[in-house]
Amino acid sequence: MSTTSVTTVSSLSPFDRALPLDDSADLSSPAPQSSSILPRHAAMSSMSTMRSIGHIGYINEVTRSSRKCLFAKLVQTIILRPITTTATLAFRAVKLITWVPLRIGVNKVSGNKEKSKSYFKGEYLRAVKAARDVYLIPSFVKRAFKNFVATHEDIIDDIKEKPIEQHLNPRISYELEDQRFSSYWHDYKTVGVVKPQVVEAEAKNEVGLNTIMASRLFMPNTMAINFGCPNVAAFVTGEEWKEVKRDDGSIEKTVDIIKVDAKSMWREKMQLKSTGGIIQSGVFLVPTNLPPEAVARFKQAATEMVGRKDITCVNTNARVLKQAGFSIEGVDLEKVIFPQTLMEHLMFRHVFYTDSAGVKHKVHFGVINTTKQKLEEYFESVDTAVVGTRLRHHLRNLDTDEDKKVRGAAARALITQEADRLAAAPIQQVNGADSVRRRVSVSVPSTLGNLISHIWGRHTLYEIDLSDKKAEIAEAFQKLAAAQNREKIKLSPFPHEKPSLGTRLKKYILFSGPVIRFLRSHMRGRVDVIDLHTQNLFNGVKATKGNRINYVVLDDKVVLTLVDANSHASNRIKKIADWALSKHALGANRADVNCSGEMRYEEATGRFIMNHDSGTYLPTPAHARLAAKLANSFFGTERFVAEEDANAPVAANAAAAAVV
């Protein structure tokens, strides 16, 4: 058994020793989110070290808050939070008894009874959440003080991680996104999320509850924590594939799903049971570096705890995890009550597994999202569902057998269609140890930048490290300059001999040095660093659905920005911000570049089309052609092609594109 090394508290600086600790019964406050073109996760430890991981969804390296930040949060919680939460409750209460009845009356007169019900439900639940936040003020103060005085331990990783993709059925195709999750205590974190192409079907026994066939999604011997809306269930898959005969006589390979089935409000005894492959759709956290014994220990712990009743299903599952050897830094799992709290702990804290020999290991997770919502939006829905538990139970009691029959028939039809699709699906490539990997730095906005992003949208800079290819890049563009009889190898910003008025405005005002430095300092308050396999890099670009990506080739890296980061928005301010904050000058920090232009994914052929469209640097078609050639060389593919050559025959086809 490998030994572990513990960083003692006394060996750390006061800032390194500062660790926010949570009162487990508290809820975090969600904040707005957005997604961008490549997956991201935090990869900075408390000692500011970075480790290579080679996959996405890595969420448990914690960037520590300083004592000053923790003290500021303590003051905010004692002085400002009571004022803001009380004011919010007062506003919600007044609105509930004045404006809401008036709005409902207007809707009823116009014949929109269902709209009236939905509107009242939403406003009622918002008022309940506001009352809950006021009730939890003393708990928040206590929690803030614990955060300020807390210390922590750190465990050195000693178990190799298994890429999250290797926990998925190889016939399941997926996309990669970076999504945000935040809390009142920990600010926010952006993580890489796997978005598998699975079918959500409404549950037969409960209206509004979506389920998936998890037996088709996961590989055997996989453990995961399922965050439904709002139910939480830890589960494991069977030890091997099992063959199931379908109605048409064909054979489908699936795995068994064995979950901790617990009920809230002490309603029923906990069970450890097979679900028939079905589980709630939601967010799944999959441990990626557990020792082989962990799955068996989890099942043993759950079996020993069968029959217990607790206040919430979250609490029961947290107790099972503790019994199985899991722990979270600074948290008593037996006191965790709400799904939002558990998710927050797993996202922002060190999670450990103590094996049967008593050795503690740090645990890392992959993140899977099977819903149509982003992380923050989804957990806002979960939080709302928590306060509406009694209402959900009431609606469930009103459900009829006929309604259940209709939902069941619809679900079976969707499940059959999914089975047919998977039977014809090709086996997806899974990253091997010899795959090309690249370090990617992803910008995280400053506090001011995060606030402003609520107005102009989120814009992210992605830097792909090519430091090992620096000499090749320099030599290639030096030869190009010689072939073009240019004395200067690199391209300078705004090189126009007779610039127009618009170009002058860009050069000397809009994208001048001071403006560029200001914008970058707040777009890039810090960076998250990840290592990605080539396949994951490609999947990240493919997830842009053909949208344009600005690229800049520098000496030792490529910088990418999504041109239409807020293409879904109709807000004119965000459209203008998309134009300004994706400029090549901003990506390059107004430095000289080797090449710049646009790139897009062409779904029909599976190629990445690159052009030389850059009014800032004015590259030539030959620059884009060389950039595509270098990309193919560096990433071990033939998928990159210059736009001028896009109509030439290629070996790739649409079927091959599906497994890039």
CB atoms within 10 A of CB 106: 11
Tell me, what's the pLDDT at 411?
57
Residue 20 lies in a domain: no
Q: Which two tokens stand for residue 551?
A: 């690229």
Q: Kindly indicate the confidence band of residue 398, based on its pLDDT and cuts at 50, 70 and 90.
A: low
CB atoms within 10 A of CB 195: 21
Q: Kindly indicate the confidence band of residue 660, based on its pLDDT and cuts at 50, 70 and 90.
A: very low
Contact present, 551 and 446 (Cβ < 8 Å): no
477-510 pLDDT tens trace: 999 999 999 989 999 999 988 889 988 998 899 8
Same domain for 207 and 291, yes or no, is yes
Contact present, 634 and 531 (Cβ < 8 Å): no
Helix (H) or strand (E) holding 130: helix 113-135
317-359 pLDDT tens trace: 999 999 999 999 888 999 999 999 999 899 888 899 999 999 9
Same domain for 252 and 397, yes or no, is yes
Same domain for 101 and 212, yes or no, is no
Number of domains in the chain: 3
> Of the ranges 44-48, 538-542, 601-605, 645-649, which one carries the lowest mean pLDDT score?
44-48
173-185 pLDDT tens trace: 888 777 888 888 8
Question: What range does the domain containing 524 cover?
Answer: 437-657
117, 149, 181: which is the final residue of a domain? 149
Tell me, what's the pLDDT at 409?
65
Residue 493 lies in a domain: yes
CB atoms within 10 A of CB 239: 12
Over range 617-622, report the average pLDDT: 94
Helix (H) or strand (E) holding 188: strand 187-196
Q: pLDDT over 90 for what percent of the chain? A: 35
Tell me, what's the pLDDT at 315?
94
What's the distance, CA 444 to chain centroid? 14
Q: Taking Cα atoms as reference points, which of 201, 200, 194 lies closest to residue 174? A: 194
pLDDT(303) > 50: yes
Tell me, what's the pLDDT at 186?
77
pLDDT(245) > 80: no
The neighbouring-strand residues paired with 273 are 259
pLDDT(117) > 90: no
Tell me, what's the pLDDT at 323?
95
pLDDT(24) > 70: no
Is the N-terminal amide bond of 230 cis, ω within 30° of 0? yes
Same domain for 265 and 209, yes or no, is yes
Map tokens 């965790």 to a residue: 336
Same domain for 174 and 130, yes or no, is no
Residue 12 lies in a domain: no
- Spatial distance between the Cα atoms of 550 and 564, rounded to a whole number of angstroms: 10
Tell me, what's the pLDDT at 555?
94
Over range 118-142, report the average pLDDT: 89
Helix (H) or strand (E) holding 640: strand 640-642
Q: Kindly indicate the confidence band of residue 50, based on its pLDDT and cuts at 50, 70 and 90.
A: very low
pLDDT(45) > 80: no
Over range 104-120, report the average pLDDT: 81
Q: Which two tokens stand for residue 235?
A: 């589960």
Same domain for 551 and 592, yes or no, is yes
Same domain for 382 and 514, yes or no, is no
pTM check: above 0.85: no
Over range 627-644, report the average pLDDT: 90
CB atoms within 10 A of CB 638: 13
Tell me, what's the pLDDT at 416?
64
| Highest mean pLDDT: which range of 34-43, 187-196, 221-230, 393-402 | 221-230
Same domain for 279 and 402, yes or no, is yes
Tell me, what's the pLDDT at 651?
42
Q: Kindly indicate the confidence band of residue 629, based on its pLDDT and cuts at 50, 70 and 90.
A: very high
pLDDT(657) > 60: no
Over range 631-647, report the average pLDDT: 87
Higher per-residue pLDDT: 597 or 445: 597
Contact present, 465 and 439 (Cβ < 8 Å): yes
Same domain for 312 and 390, yes or no, is yes
Same domain for 343 and 469, yes or no, is no
88-104 pLDDT tens trace: 999 999 999 999 888 88
Map tokens 């992959």 to a residue: 366
Over range 302-330, report the average pLDDT: 93
Over range 1-12, report the average pLDDT: 31
Q: Kindly indicate the confidence band of residue 612, based on its pLDDT and cuts at 50, 70 and 90.
A: very high
Same domain for 285 and 374, yes or no, is yes
Over range 76-80, report the average pLDDT: 92
Tell me, what's the pLDDT at 134?
94
Q: Which two tokens stand for residue 340?
A: 């939002």
Residue 544 lies in a domain: yes
- Spatial distance between the Cα atoms of 219 and 282, rounded to a whole number of angstroms: 18
Over range 17-23, report the average pLDDT: 36
Residue 25 lies in a domain: no
367, 399, 422: which is the final residue of a domain? 422
In this structure, are strands 595-602 and 549-553 parallel, antiparallel, or unpaired?
antiparallel
pLDDT(636) > 60: yes
Q: Kindly indicate the confidence band of residue 434, based on its pLDDT and cuts at 50, 70 and 90.
A: very low
Residue 427 lies in a domain: no
Average pLDDT of the chain?
79
Residue 127 lies in a domain: yes
408-431 pLDDT tens trace: 666 566 656 656 555 555 555 544
**What secondary structure, in 3-state letters, does 586-629 show?**
HHCCCCCECEEEEEEEECCCCEEEECCCCCCCCCCHHHHHHHHH
Same domain for 113 and 201, yes or no, is no
Q: Taking Cα atoms as reference points, which of 640, 619, 607, 561 lies closest to residue 37? A: 561
> Of the ranges 293-307, 491-505, 531-545, which one carries the lowest mean pLDDT score?
531-545
pLDDT(364) > 50: yes
398, 422, 446: which is the final residue of a domain? 422
pLDDT(566) > 70: no
Higher per-residue pLDDT: 18 or 62: 62
Residue 260 lies in a domain: yes
Q: Which two tokens stand for residue 11?
A: 């060996």
Tell me, what's the pLDDT at 543?
64
Over range 12-18, report the average pLDDT: 28
